[in-house]
Chain A
Amino acid sequence: MSVSPGSVASGPPAIEARGVRRVYNVKPTAVVALDGVDLDVAPGEFFGLLGPNGAGKTTLIKILTTLLLPSEGTARIFGFDVATDVKRIRRIMNMVAGGEQSGYGILTVREQLWMFSQFYGLPRGDGWRRVDELIEAVGFTEQAQQRVSTLSTGQRQKMNFVRGLLNDPWILFLDEPTLGLDVAAARSVRELVTSWKAAVPGRTVLLTTHYMAEADELCDRIAIVDHGRILAIGSPAELKRRVQRESIFRLELDRLDGGVAALARLPGVVSATPAASASDAADRQTVNLDLVLVEDGALGGVVAALSGLGAHIRSLRKSEPSLEDVFVELVGRGFDEEGSDTAAAPPDGSGPGTAPMDQPEHEPGEPAERERV
């Protein structure tokens, strides 16, 4: 039965967090991973938590998936308290993390998925059927009989994603799902997520990522997180509008008699400057320029004036700020700059964005030195 987002919208929020704080009591000093997070995610929403490594994204996911208790505050999933309604939440959610090495290398993909289906109560036969259907739906049939230990990182993540769908979750937590994947594999995982979401629009997704393009592409709304606090929430467009006070256009013209100064004097034009890629334009014998206007409406006057100057527009593109610009505006530094990846991280480096531990084929010291099952 397909459920539209509207049919569950009347119920409790998919996620409701109030004053969630999490402190890791480690020596020598306690680490504050979350510092008073308030969050509401509507049913059916694709919500992103965007922030640098150590921002507290994974800690929040652990709390929402009932694996970790908040030190202070409350969190609810579809009205169920993460501290007390543990089993109910686990029945309607699933989670997939980037770099996940779960399962047993000795099993085939099909067997491993079936094994996990048993943990969600699917009857034996239903489990095999569902695994086969999902494997086919995601185009993983060729690898179905392949041993898990022989999968590439991208294939493995595809399998993990299927695992996350086995119980038909009402809410899916994706923790850096494309971490460590190459461009093609990451795109493939994103496509899987979007096609699943399109097929079951009533389902909710909480995605954590530190890839801004990924958040921009996938999410209905995004919360920008840093040092355990949410700095801003909104749709990607809304967030970008926060930093875009003027309209910026890039123009490519066949010629411009009188130079850019001729445009700078026009009403509504803040500035007109040769674009950074002017040398490329010279090769193509065109003129590229960046035009900053007080508002979009001023563009009509510019186009009319260009016509009067005998210039023809080859291309016109509106420049939008990126989410990185939003982050810089909010935090005062970029994602990769000093101070962005330590403060709220769990003390072992196992937290957000950390590369997975290697999966040993054999456990040292075990008498038989065989693969652990």
Chain B
Amino acid sequence: MSVYEYRVTGSPAEAAAWTRRQAFFTDLRAVWGRAYPRVSGMFREPSWLFFELLLPLLATSAFVFVYRSLQAPSEYVGFVVLGGAMTAFWLNVIWMMASQLYWEKSQGNLELYFAAPIDIMAILFGMAVGGLVMSTTRAAMILVVASVVYGVAFDVQQPLLLVAVFFLTMTALYGLGMMLASLFLVWGREAQQLTELFTEPVYFVSGLSFPVGRLGMLGALAIAIIPLAVGLDAMRQLAFAGGDIAFGTPSPEIEALILVAMTVVFLFAARWMLRAMEERARRDGRLSLRWQ
């Protein structure tokens, strides 16, 4: 057998006849394959410590000092720290999920992803997994450092629910990211502007620096459609359970159910949109024509 040969197959038809198991494991390997550059890149460019840890920490600190000068309840400092940590995930979703496919297209990667015998969802899952590792590290460091520096006192009475809400927030958030990815690809060049357009408003309506219930109807709307808003609010309620802050939002249990619904809707929508996008791309030539 020549060094160039890999699979012992007697004919192209035999080589093309994969079992469902083979196809499934190929998709699974593709997830890790695509996550790999993100995970290894995290250790290879230590500059992220400055950009993604120190700078967000400064922004969080500004709000801490504002609340302290206003003599706000001590929980508000905790709210800001938690919000600062969760910023990492939204930035990751919007920049490295939603607008990523468009960038991959301009690099020629997208064409190779489509030309490979994998489901494109596997690529998006890979991006999500890699992004989660990066963002969780960043969020954890912000949370730990800020909590120690500003003396945040957590009062967690339902730790399992808190963990569950965190993971549900992640699945819903990255599900939204996958959905946006195919949408941004169809929108083409506007993806960059859309990314910028979405960043700040989502920060605001998600209540990253204040309880989202203070936004009234707007906050309720955010809880209904933005995983970050509902997830963060539930986590705040669970992390500072003993305080006498009136959140003015549904209970954490209800919000957990909202997150479950969001996860299902976003993942199915992402899958449907990706298939539609691929079909449209093959019909219109959108994978071949870089200007589109």
Contact = CB atoms under 8 A, between A and B. Distances in A.
Contact of A359 (B40, B107, B292): B107
B289 A347 contact: yes
Given A356-B108, A371-B41, A89 B4 contact: no
B289 A69 contact: no
B96 interface: yes
B123 to A, nearest CB: 8
Contacts of A199: 2-4
A356 B38 CA distance: 24
B113 A119 contact: yes
B282 A67 contact: yes
Most chain B CB within a 10 A radius of its CB, from A43, A119, A127, A368? A119
Contact of A196 (B4, B23, B96, B100): B4
Contacts of B15: 91-92, 170
A368 B95 CA distance: 10
Nearest to B116: A119
8 contacts: A25-B284, A88-B16, A199-B4, A350-B291, A370-B47, A371-B41, A373-B38, A373-B41
B260 to A, nearest CB: 30
B6 A168 contact: yes
Given A3-B10, A199-B4, A371-B45, A118 B29 contact: yes
Contacts of B281: 67
A290 interface: no
Given A101-B107, A107-B40, A347-B289, A372 B100 contact: yes
Interface string B107-118: 111011111111
A339 interface: no
A289 to B, nearest CB: 49
Interface in A271-298: none
Nearest to B41: A373
Interface residues of A, number: 86
B48 interface: yes
Contact of A106 (B11, B16, B33, B45): B45
A121 B282 contact: no
Contacts of B288: 58-59, 62, 67-68, 346, 350-351
Contacts of A65: 115
Interface stretch (A46-54, A130-138, A253-261, A314-322): A130-138
Contact of B11 (A11, A167, A346, A356): A11
A371 B47 CA distance: 11
Contacts, number: 211
B30 interface: yes
Given A119-B29, A368-B52, 9 more contacts: A3-B11, A66-B115, A80-B16, A92-B12, A101-B107, A111-B40, A120-B26, A348-B289, A357-B290
Given A88-B16, A372-B103, A367 B37 contact: no
A1 B117 contact: no
Contacts of A97: 108
Taking chain A's interface residues, is the majority helix, strand, or loop, or is none over half, making it mixed? loop
A103 B36 CA distance: 12
A102 B112 contact: yes
Given A348-B289, A368-B51, A167 B111 contact: no
Contacts of B113: 119
B22 interface: yes
Q: Interface range on chain B: under 10, 10 to 19, 20 to 34, or 35 or more?
A: 35 or more
Given A67-B287, A170-B15, A367-B95, A373 B6 contact: no
Interface in A334-373: 346-348, 350-351, 356-357, 359, 363-373
Most chain A CB within a 10 A radius of its CB, from B10, B34, B289, B291? B289
Nearest to A106: B41
B195 interface: yes
Interface in B16-63: 16-18, 22-23, 25-26, 29-30, 32-34, 36-38, 40-41, 44-45, 47-48, 51-52
A8 interface: yes
B207 interface: no
Contacts of A66: 114-115, 282
B34 A115 contact: yes
Interface in A1-28: 1-3, 7-8, 11, 14, 24-25
Contact of B13 (A78, A102, A107, A365): A78
Interface in B99-152: 100, 103, 106-109, 111-118, 130
Contact of B290 (A79, A87, A348, A373): A348
Contact of B115 (A94, A123, A350, A364): A94
Contacts of B287: 62, 67-68
Interface string B250-284: 00000000000000000000000000000001111
Interface string A321-339: 0000000000000000000
A367 B16 CA distance: 43
Contact of B4 (A103, A165, A357): A165
Nearest to A197: B4
B196 interface: yes
